[in-house]
Amino acid sequence: MLKIGVLASGRGSNFQAIIDAIENKNLKASIEILITDNPSAFAIERAKRHNLKYIFINPKEFATKDELFKKIADELKSCGVELVILAGFMRIVRKPLIDAFPNRIMNIHPALLPSFPGLHGQKQALDYGVKISGCTVHFVDEGMDTGPVIIQAAVTVMPDDTEDTLSERILSFEHRIYPEAVRLFSEGRLEIKGMKVMIKDHPSVSSNIVNPPNRN
């Protein structure tokens, strides 16, 4: 069974989606620890509700960002974590954590990468006037949302969309594809070749994209 560690800074809705997938027997994994850099994160409440271990690590206690991420890596390793999940973790992951878990850190971003990386991907998409947006699960490297893409979902941008309405619609697909990406990893079906993530026994690359029906 895959042992997961989760990093979150806020409400942790994708953390909840993974909890639900495990509890519904759709994902053979266990969450060993939640680490947060925010003592007020609602993700802590989610951990409490499901009797999951959690800790708060105060970034202000570390002289450098590398020292902070060395501490995070040490805590994850002490729990036997095999895959690290970023669930709304509002920090760029640094080398000590990446080196400790090479190709074993996942993130989800509310845009179709490589378009619109960084903060407010939904607003960036609206401002640019794109007709299709979505979300991306990717492996984490030292850049901002630059790691190899695992799976994506496409979401139609409606003419009357606001940042909030588009964000909410994208979020519903985040909750579907993040557990799926973790499941594929747990089954040993992800293979990284350069910047491409190959899915073993997958019928076609195009089926990685989930197209929701248009809103009436």
Q: What is the pLDDT of residues 115-159, one digit of tens each?
A: 998 888 899 999 999 999 999 999 999 888 889 999 999 999 999
pLDDT at position 200 is: 87
The residues near 87 (Cβ < 8 Å, ≥ 6 apart) are: 6, 7, 8, 12, 13, 14, 15, 18, 43, 108, 178
Is the same domain home to 118 and 52? no
pLDDT band of residue 213 (cuts 50, 70, 90) is very low
For the residues of the chain, what is the DSSP string, one character each? -EEEEEEESS--HHHHHHHHHHHTTSS-EEEEEEEES-TT-HHHHHHHHTT--EEE--GGG-SSHHHHHHHHHHHHHHTT-SEEEESS--SPPPHHHHHHSTT-EEEEESS-TTSS-SS-HHHHHHHHT-SEEEEEEEE--SSSS-SPEEEEEEEEPPTT--HHHHHHHHHHHHHHHHHHHHHHHHTT-EEEETTEEEETT-S-GGGGEE-PPPP-
**What residue has token string 């499901």?**
50
Domain count, the chain: 2
Each as own residue / partner, the long-range contacts of residues 119-122 (CB below 8 Å, 24 or more positions apart, any chain) are 120/163, 122/163, 122/166, 122/167, 122/170
Is the same domain home to 118 and 176? yes
Task: Report the chain's mean pLDDT, rounded to a whole number.
Answer: 92
Q: What is the pLDDT of residues 5-57, one digit of tens each?
A: 999 999 999 999 999 999 999 999 999 999 999 999 999 999 999 999 999 99
Is the same domain home to 123 and 89? no
Is the same domain home to 95 and 111? no
Is the same domain home to 85 and 113? no
- Whether 81 shows a pLDDT value over 60: the answer reads yes
Is the same domain home to 21 and 54? yes
pLDDT at position 208 is: 46
Is the same domain home to 41 and 90? yes
Comparing CA positions, the residue from 179, 213, 170 lying closest to residue 85 is 179
Residue 146 is part of a domain; what is its CATH number? 3.40.50.170
Q: Which of 109, 120, 138, 202 is an active site residue?
A: 109
pLDDT band of residue 207 (cuts 50, 70, 90) is very low
Instruction: Please give the model's pTM, rounded to 2 decimal places.
Output: 0.89
Is the same domain home to 163 and 203? yes
pLDDT at position 119 is: 87
The residue range of the domain holding 4 is 1-102
Stretch among 15-29, 106-120, 194-208 having the lowest mean pLDDT:
194-208
pLDDT at position 42 is: 97
Is the same domain home to 216 and 112? yes
Answer yes or no: 202 catalytic. no
Q: What percent of the chain has pLDDT over 90?
A: 87
Is the same domain home to 86 and 159? no
